[in-house]
């Protein structure tokens, strides 16, 4: 659009100019609302994920405590079995020792 110096400049307060300005403001507000919604959704998702992570962590903690208790019980059983094994070996050794000494002396 080429303006001649004799033509007046377009008035910025005309309805078409005002509506363009209004639409820009409206778009800006809808963009802001959209961004707020996205941020709110993101915050809610992060909070939900944080709750889920805490719950998983708690479940793993409880499972870990159970495993530790079971491990301690197995250690006690292993210690008792080891003591029993030593007692049986010493009993066996004491029973075999006199036999081997008496048999070795009979051959001499």
- Please report the pLDDT score of residue 66 as a whole number: 98
14 alpha carbon, distance to own chain's centre = 60
Whether residue 19 is predicted with pLDDT greater than 90 in this model: the reply is no
User: For residue 105, what pLDDT band results from cuts at 50, 70 and 90?
Assistant: low
85 alpha carbon, distance to own chain's centre = 44
As a whole number, the mean pLDDT across the chain is 82
Burial letters 46-59, b for 16+ CB under 10 A, else e: eeeeeeeeeeeeee
- Mean pLDDT, range 35-45, rounded to an integer: 92
- Please report the pLDDT score of residue 93 as a whole number: 92
CA distance 13 to 40: 38
Residue 18 lies inside a defined structural domain of this protein? no
- Please report the pLDDT score of residue 65 as a whole number: 98
More confident residue, 1 or 27: 27
Residue 14 lies inside a defined structural domain of this protein? no
Q: How many domains does the chain have?
A: 1
Its domain, for residue 74, covers: 30-93
């Amino acid at each position: 659009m080429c303006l001649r110096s004799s033509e007046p400049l377009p008035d910025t307060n005309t309805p078409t100019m005002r509506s363009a300005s209004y639409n820009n403001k409206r778009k800006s507000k809808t963009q802001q609302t959209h961004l707020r919604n996205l941020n709110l959704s993101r915050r809610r998702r992060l909070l939900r994920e944080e709750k889920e992570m805490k719950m998983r962590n708690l479940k793993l903690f409880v499972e870990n405590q159970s495993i530790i208790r079971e491990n301690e019980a197995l250690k006690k059983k292993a210690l008792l079995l080891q003591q029993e094994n030593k007692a049986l070996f010493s009993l066996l050794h004491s029973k075999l020792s006199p036999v081997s000494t008496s048999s070795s002396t009979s051959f001499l």
